[in-house]
């Protein structure tokens, strides 16, 4: 029997990148996956690629009513994975407060409100996986608001792990380093990406970026290891170890 047979997984940000790789991995292990993102076409393509009864519900996680509708669409949740969101880069004196607000609306409140609505539907043995990022543990120039966000998500994950342990719900945080097979590939101009990859060589012991599949392997570990809770798992080529 596949390890996630009979489990229902909700994966926000599941249409592309890290969320999609996790959805593909969970579905290949037998889970029924429900993807959420804003762009219906991207979601339809993802559902088609995954097959195995995957489905999708267009959802903007910054809008609590839409998050509630997503959670209401399933009777039970065994695996909640919240990967939806993007990044805002820029010098602190240039990025307007509204941009940071929007980042927090999707990546902080989006993850917290998914938990708020999902927890009553999560049986003992279920698990929640938040997504933060390397900036929660390592300084990243021009990413001050994002760093604050990642630190906040890490802290939220640890506290919820303790709060939800009596209900038998595990809570962990995946903290990716630079990850390809994601929006980075299609949003960052090639010359900027090359310069960034070069700068990684002095900062990251493995001297390369990770892949969305590396993140999916970590998410599978956190979905199936029944003693793992309260962790922030840095999958970053050693970036935060130095």
Ligand X SMILES: NC(=O)c1ccc[n+]([C@@H]2O[C@H](COP(=O)([O-])OP(=O)(O)OC[C@H]3O[C@@H](n4cnc5c(N)ncnc54)[C@H](OP(=O)(O)O)[C@@H]3O)[C@@H](O)[C@H]2O)c1
- Interface with ligand X includes 133 (CB under 6 A)? yes
In the bound complex, what is the minimum distance in angstroms from residue 172's beta carbon to ligand X? 14
Q: What is the helix (H) or strand (E) element at residue 58, kind and residue range?
A: strand 55-58
Question: Which residue carries 């959802």 as its tokens?
Answer: 59
Residues from 62 through 81 that contact ligand X (CB under 6 A): 62
* 8, 32, 59, 113: which one binds ligand X (CB under 6 A): 59
Q: What is the x/- site pattern for ligand X, positions 9-48, by CB under 6 A?
A: ---xx-xxxxx----------------xxxx--x------
Residue of minimal CB distance from ligand X?
Answer: 17
43 phi/psi in degrees, rounded to 5: -65, -40
- Interface with ligand X includes 147 (CB under 6 A)? no
Q: How far apart are CA 235 and CA 213, in angstroms?
A: 11
Q: Are 129 and 222 in contact (CB under 8 A)?
A: yes
Q: Are 20 and 212 in contact (CB under 8 A)?
A: yes
Integer angstrom CA distances of residue 184 from 48, 81, 112, 193, 212: 23, 20, 25, 8, 11
In the bound complex, what is the minimum distance in angstroms from residue 168's beta carbon to ligand X? 27
In the bound complex, what is the minimum distance in angstroms from residue 47's beta carbon to ligand X? 13
Q: DSSP character for 235?
A: E
Q: Which stretch binds ligand X (CB under 6 A): 158-166, 178-186, 188-196, 225-233?
A: 178-186
Question: Which residue carries 């960052």 as its tokens?
Answer: 188
In the bound complex, what is the minimum distance in angstroms from residue 205's beta carbon to ligand X? 17
Q: How far apart are CA 115 and CA 110, in angstroms?
A: 9
- Interface with ligand X includes 237 (CB under 6 A)? no
Integer angstrom CA distances of residue 16 from 140, 166, 203: 24, 34, 27
* 74, 112, 152, 184: which one binds ligand X (CB under 6 A): 184
In the bound complex, what is the minimum distance in angstroms from residue 166's beta carbon to ligand X? 29
Decide whether 126 or 175 has the Cβ nearer to ligand X. Answer: 175
Residues from 103 through 132 that contact ligand X (CB under 6 A): 106-107, 131
Q: How far apart are CA 27 and CA 7, in angstroms?
A: 10
- Interface with ligand X includes 144 (CB under 6 A)? no
Q: Which residues bind ligand X (CB under 6 A)?
A: 12-13, 15-19, 36-39, 42, 59-62, 83-87, 106-107, 131, 133-134, 176, 178-179, 182-184
């Amino acid at each position: 029997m596949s390890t996630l047979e009979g489990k229902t997984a909700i994966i926000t940000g599941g249409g592309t990148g890290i969320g999609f790789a996790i959805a593909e991995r969970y579905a290949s292990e037998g889970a029924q996956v429900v993807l959420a993102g804003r762009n219906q076409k991207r979601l339809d393509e993802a559902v088609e690629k995954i097959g195995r009864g995957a489905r999708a519900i267009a959802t903007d996680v910054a809008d609590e009513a839409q998050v509630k509708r997503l959670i209401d669409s399933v009777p039970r949740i065994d695996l909640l994975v919240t990967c939806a969101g993007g990044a805002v880069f820029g010098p602190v004196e240039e990025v307007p407060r509204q941009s940071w607000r929007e980042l927090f609306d999707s990546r902080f409140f989006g993850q917290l409100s998914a938990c708020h609505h999902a927890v009553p539907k999560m049986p003992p043995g279920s698990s929640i996986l938040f997504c933060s990022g390397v900036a929660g543990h390592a300084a990243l120039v021009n990413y001050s608001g994002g760093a604050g966000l990642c630190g906040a998500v890490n802290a939220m994950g640890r506290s919820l792990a303790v709060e939800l342990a009596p209900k038998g719900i595990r809570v962990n945080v995946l903290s990716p380093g630079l990850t390809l097979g994601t929006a980075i590939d299609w949003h960052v101009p090639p010359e900027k990406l090359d310069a960034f990859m070069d700068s990684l060589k002095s900062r990251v012991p493995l001297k390369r970026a990770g892949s969305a599949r590396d993140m999916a392997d970590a998410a599978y570990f956190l979905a199936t290891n029944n003693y793992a809770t309260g962790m922030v798992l840095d999958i970053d080529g050693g970036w935060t170890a130095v």
